[in-house]
Amino acid sequence: MADAATVSRFGQFGTRSKHIAAGDCVIAYSGPQNMTFITVKAGAVFANSYGRYPHDSIIGVEWGSKHPSATGRGFIHLLWPTPELWTLSLPHRTQILYTPDISFITSFLDLRPGVKMIEAGTGSGSFSHAIARTIAPTGHLYTFEYNADRYEKALVEFQEHGLTELVTLEHRDVCSDGFEQRDLVDAVFLDLPSPWEALEAAKQTFKKHKTGKICCFSPCVEQVLRTTAELQKQGFVEIKMFEVLVRSYDSRKTEVRPLPTRADEEQRRHDIGNKKRKEREAAASSSASDAANPAKKVATEDGSVKVELAEEKVDEAAAAPASVNVSQPQEVRTVREFTGLKPPREATGHTSYLTFATLLPQIYRGSDGEKINDESA
């Protein structure tokens, strides 16, 4: 097991076993909005509003199990950590990147095993984990954080998650101090308040003989304008900007009613008349009697629901206080039920603008084998 962890270089997240062992990171799942990230230690106890879960009871359990609390009254599901679940269970230290953004950036920066990459700043390490997953086992991530507190926390997490072979974390302000990496990386990701300040330095880090990709992640339009101007100045091409979101759906069993007919209206008046009469009778006799049943829904074999206009059991002749004739044949009309899917009333409308650009190869050979372009020469 330990060997597998070393070779995948993706630590805890890259080591898939059937059963949970001491030292494993586990997502304690109680609901989509209620996930907690725990590291299993003998003797420790995890507690949430549904109960207490001694870690000892978790050790040896199969991943994905439904696990009862100490009293047996509550339960959690024990999930294997993925970067995405980890992100959702994260105590937020900065505005984190969400999965649609992470997915899109990963794809647009052409991340795959073997890619070397720069990230600034590290923030909560949310994207760092996703990058590490994709570039493992042969790639490398250099990530920079200028906030001392966030740097310390991320450092501990990378160590705990066994990512140190794959990720190098540095406490550094790249806007003022630049990067030491030269001719080394395939991709750069800048999640900084003023990414344009780091672009000139970032350009130097790219491999010179091949295409490089950069992404700047900024919430505001003003930032995008300054970034694109600087990208153009630095010679980046193919500048593109996107907003990406997902729209989630709620489902609800609902129905459409048929248009009312004259018969419906007459029936309604008839029912109200009956009801009032019954109430009068009930009041008069002081005995409890059933209220009139206006209509009953009956499930039919084809799954639709018929609304049967109520057959009055009361003697028609005696009960005819209104002048309407209700003894006509009653027509059976159908309410159509369906599962309605709709987006929730409120949803995320914006995360950030994703600005991408390409840096073309700076050194290449002419068709005669000569170097025909080498800026560094």
Partner 1 sequence: MSVEPTNPSVAANAADAGPSVDFVGRASVVDDGALISDGAWAIVNMPSETTKLVQLNKDSKVMMGKFGSFQTSLLMGLPFDLPYEADGQGVVTPAPEGFKLDELDIETEEGANNKNLVDKSDSQRLTQAEIEALKEKARIGDLEGVGVIKALTENSETWKEKTEFAKAKYIKRKQKKYSRVFTPVRPTARLLCEHFNRENPRRILEIRGDTLSQILTAANVRAGGRYLLVDEAGGLLTCALAERMQGWGTIMMLHEHPASNHDMIKYLNLPSTVPDVMRTLSWNRIEPHTDEDIENTEMKNADPERSQRYQARIKKIKDSREYLKAGGFDALIIVSLFDVKEIIEMLSPYLAGSAPIVAYSQYKEALTDAWQHMRTAREFVNSQLTESWLREYQVTGGMHPTMRMSGTGGYLVSGIKVFEVESHASTRPRAPGKGQGKGRRKRDDGDDGGEHRGADKAMKMDE
Residue numbers belonging to the annotated binding site for S-adenosyl-L-methionine:
145, 173, 191
Contact 354, 241 (CB under 8 A): yes
Stretch touching partner 1 by CB under 8 A, among 37-45, 72-80, 256-264, 266-274: 72-80
DSSP-assigned letter for residue 19 = B
Least distance CB 84 / partner 1 (angstroms): 6
> Should residue 64 be labelled a site residue for partner 1 when binding is judged by CB under 8 A?
yes
* Contact flag: residue 17 with partner 1 (CB under 8 A): yes
Say whether residue 118 binds partner 1 (CB under 8 A).
Answer: no
Least distance between partner 1 and beta carbon 254 (Å): 9
Minimum CB distance to partner 1 smaller for 152 or for 249: 249
Q: Tell me if 65 contacts partner 1 by CB under 8 A.
A: yes
Stretch that binds partner 1, among 98-106, 190-198, 282-290, 327-335 (CB under 8 A): 98-106
Pull the structure tokens for residue 3.
């060997």
Kindly state the smallest distance separating residue 365's Cβ from partner 1, in Å: 6
150 interacts with partner 1 by CB under 8 A: no
Cis check: omega of the bond before 14, within 30 degrees of 0: no
Which of positions 198-257 make contact with partner 1 (CB under 8 A)? 207, 209-211, 221, 224-225, 228, 232, 237, 239-253
Q: Which residues in the 152-181 window bind partner 1 by CB under 8 A?
A: none
> Does 78 participate in binding partner 1 (rule CB under 8 A)?
yes
Q: Is 122 exposed, middle or buried (0-12, 13-18, 19+ CB in 10 A)?
A: buried
> DSSP alpha helices (H): ranges in 109-194?
126-135, 148-160, 174-177
What's the burial of 79, exposed, middle or buried (CB within 10 Å: 0-12/13-18/19+)? middle
Q: Hunting for tokens 């840096």 — which residue is that?
A: 359
Structure tokens at 98: 């969400």
Stretch 29-58: interaction string toward partner 1, x if CB under 8 A? xxxxxx---------------x------xx
Q: Which of 254, 299, 276 is nearest to 268 (CA)?
A: 276
Structure tokens at 119: 């990230």
d(CA 196, CA 375): 22
Q: Please state the residue numbers annotated as binding site.
A: 145, 173, 191
For residue 7, state whether it binds partner 1 (rule: CB under 8 A): yes
Number of other CB atoms surrounding residue 129 within 10 Å: 27
C-alpha distances in Å from residue 323, one per residue of 189, 281, 315, 327: 80, 20, 15, 12
Contact set for partner 1, span 309-338 (CB under 8 A): 337
Peptide bond between residue 121 and the one before it cis (omega within 30 degrees of 0): yes
Residue type, 95: Q
Smallest distance from partner 1 to CB 172, Å: 25
By the rule CB under 8 A, 113 interacts with partner 1: yes
Among 21, 42, 45, 138, binds partner 1 (CB under 8 A): 138
HSE-up of 116 (CA within 13 Å, CB side)? 11
Q: Enumerate residues 343-362 that contact partner 1 by CB under 8 A.
A: 343, 353, 355, 358, 360-361
Decide whether 72 or 329 has the Cβ nearer to partner 1. 72
